[in-house]
Amino acid sequence: MVRQVSLPASNITSVCWGGPDYSTLYVTSSQLGIPEDKVKTDKAQGGVFAITGLGAKGSPPTNFKVDLSLLKSKIK
């Protein structure tokens, strides 16, 4: 299912799941390209939002270790 969530900011930059059980969707936004007068009157521009109650969850991050020696050998 696809859902749309309305936010009070216009330049959404990224999203990620978080919280104790990964059921909170964090959304970041930017002030870049927003007229200065709008940024002054609309403090939500450039904000970070936490959205709950979506009925969906993310997954915990996967831990991994990079073998830097292998990467360096590929650069040569």
Instruction: Confirm whether 42 is domain-assigned.
Output: yes
Name the domain count of the chain: 1
Q: Is pTM, for the whole model, over 0.85?
A: no
Instruction: Confirm whether 72 is domain-assigned.
Output: no
Q: E strands, the chain, where?
A: 12-18, 24-29, 48-51
Instruction: Confirm whether 9 is domain-assigned.
Output: yes
Interior CA angle at 37 toward 31 and 38, to 5°? 55
What is the span of the domain harbouring residue 14? 1-59
Dump pLDDT digits (tens) for 6-64. Answer: 999 888 999 999 999 999 999 999 998 888 888 888 888 899 999 999 999 999 988 88
